[in-house]
A and B are shown apart, each in its own frame.
Chain A
């Protein structure tokens, strides 16, 4: 804009009739109410179904709110931090919290490693195998979490599943042990979430100008060196995006755990925060306690978001 107007000034002024007329005010300059009009439907929906529920979540977490209050038999009484102190005093909560963090971290790492490795692989092969891998990955990506979970449970079924037959494990149950159950869920999560990383990173690699890579190759850089010094730095914004998306998704895994371990495993050994909150609220009708768990999750994810924003800002990107 500014560059343009100086260009106009510098131009020798011709006759007034042909003089470039003043540009019509760009909407970016004088927006008035238009942007808010455009934003209105989105803001109304988000306000009513996201912001207000979050407020309510916070409110309920401070109340004694069980079946009696839901049916209106007793008034909801203010409890202060009662739910929170009950939660933090419960050893199961800490166990679930650490399981959630470790499980999410493992999922993110596995997804990123596999996704990036396969994206690089995709750039090295001819069209037919590339299409095969792409289609298989899209199939896994498209599979609904609930059907994916049931299929994986069936694959590893103790009696009728093919995996145990191939590995010769007899009727070993994968969901019985805590770690093998988590490993099974991790495999399914990896299966359905690596395609997003693979496709995105592949698109990013393709967007890197060929000349840059050719120049590096001509200068005698090894493949690894090219990846480390050229490709990876150019991919950094994309890698940030896929990492943060993976963190968010994997920290909130719900359907897989719920379906594959039948609601959190034997004696809740496979609970993660999300399922834990749901079980507390809807299975044992302790809505106040469930809401408190929800608030804790919200705060953790908020912290992750702030870290992400700092990263984005440091990279000098404009929002």
Chain B
């Protein structure tokens, strides 16, 4: 695939790639930079792309905000629960629709596809009433349950490719050797599909971690149950935005996702290739 490209052409392509990379990374650089700038420099009308006197004041303001640590833990708890539960449930469902032939299988598959298209935001209204009727308003459950449900269709759809890639001969060999269905499922199939599960969990992690609509709509009065996006909004003030605080809080919120991404990066690329190749 690496075709012979003449040198000047490749150098130009590489220069372009580096320029684009710089442009794409710039907003993130500016976010961290602004978080580190002392407040006088942020308010300057002649912003410089560097700072000579970095300060942690903005971060201090963020962490001293009441209950910030709690918001962070809440966010982590919600996202963690959704990622683990959705991976397990989606794995079971994907196994069912790829390794078995049964009535309504195709119908189910189409429904999983259609379910991905549902505008989640439009469902905020009925979900609000549902959570109210079950006494889940102002609890973390009101975030976990909907996110779990909404991450499932895409996860199932993506995992199918991975489950299908495990050769059927392996399954038959396992049964011949006397393995039960459950044993095959958890001790053979599960480890083999794990890379796919990792790739899939990126999506459920991001959508849950980023959520701000459900948090805004379902956690109305009990701020001890709030999540990070809400903490970010505190710094938006009608008269004067505290940009240093906003950028510091944004940095704090972005870092866990970045870490997660870097960890699964390799699997993600091969995972996406596997999922769409199927």
Contact = CB atoms under 8 A, between A and B. Distances in A.
Nearest to A248: B117
B150 interface: yes
Interface in A182-199: 191, 199
Given A144-B254, A203-B270, 10 more contacts: A39-B97, A45-B89, A54-B123, A147-B232, A154-B34, A162-B49, A278-B124, A297-B122, A301-B119, A304-B117
Interface string B11-31: 001101110111011011011
Interface in A121-173: 121-126, 129-130, 132-133, 135-148, 150-152, 154-155, 157, 159-162, 165
B123 A28 contact: no
Interface string A91-135: 000000000000000000000000000100111111001101101
Contacts of B168: 26, 28
Contacts of B149: 45-46, 48-50
Interface string B79-115: 0000000000110110111011110011011100111
B265 A60 contact: no
Most A C-beta atoms less than 10 A away, residue of B123, B258, B277: B123
12 contacts: A35-B102, A38-B93, A39-B92, A45-B148, A57-B125, A130-B17, A139-B258, A147-B250, A162-B49, A206-B273, A274-B121, A277-B121
B259 to A, nearest CB: 9
A206 B269 CA distance: 11
A181 interface: no
Given A133-B21, A155-B27, A305 B126 contact: no
B246 A45 contact: no
A66 interface: no
Contact of A205 (B1, B17, B118, B212): B1
Contacts of B276: 200, 203-204, 237-238, 241-242
Interface string A7-31: 0000000000000000110111101
Nearest to B176: A24
A24 B212 contact: no
Contacts of A269: none
Interface in B143-192: 145-146, 148-150, 152-153, 156, 168, 171-172, 175-176, 181
Interface in A262-310: 274, 277-278, 281-282, 287, 290-291, 293-295, 297-298, 301-302, 304-305, 308-309
A140 B89 contact: no
B126 A57 contact: yes
B17 A129 contact: yes
A230 B234 CA distance: 53
Contacts of A157: 243
A36 B30 contact: no
B56 interface: no
B254 A298 contact: no
Contacts of A3: none
A202 B27 CA distance: 24
A60 B126 contact: yes
B108 A143 contact: no
B10 interface: yes
Contacts of A57: 122-123, 125-126
B250 A150 contact: yes
A101 B256 CA distance: 34
Interface of A: 23-24, 26-29, 31, 34-36, 38-39, 41-43, 45-46, 48-50, 52-54, 56-57, 60, 118, 121-126, 129-130, 132-133, 135-148, 150-152, 154-155, 157, 159-162, 165, 191, 199-200, 202-208, 210, 213-214, 217, 223, 237-238, 241-242, 248, 251-252, 254-255, 258, 274, 277-278, 281-282, 287, 290-291, 293-295, 297-298, 301-302, 304-305, 308-309, 319
A155 to B, nearest CB: 6
A305 B168 CA distance: 31
Given A39-B108, A49-B127, A294 B122 contact: yes
B261 interface: yes
A130 B93 CA distance: 37
Contacts of B52: none
Contacts of A217: 3-4
Contacts of A290: 125
Contacts of B243: 154, 157, 160
B74 interface: no
Contact of B232 (A26, A43, A53, A150): A150
B229 interface: yes
A251 B4 CA distance: 41
B212 A255 contact: yes
Contacts of B124: 278, 281-282
Contacts of A133: 17-18, 20-21, 24
Contacts of A146: 210, 212, 229, 232, 253
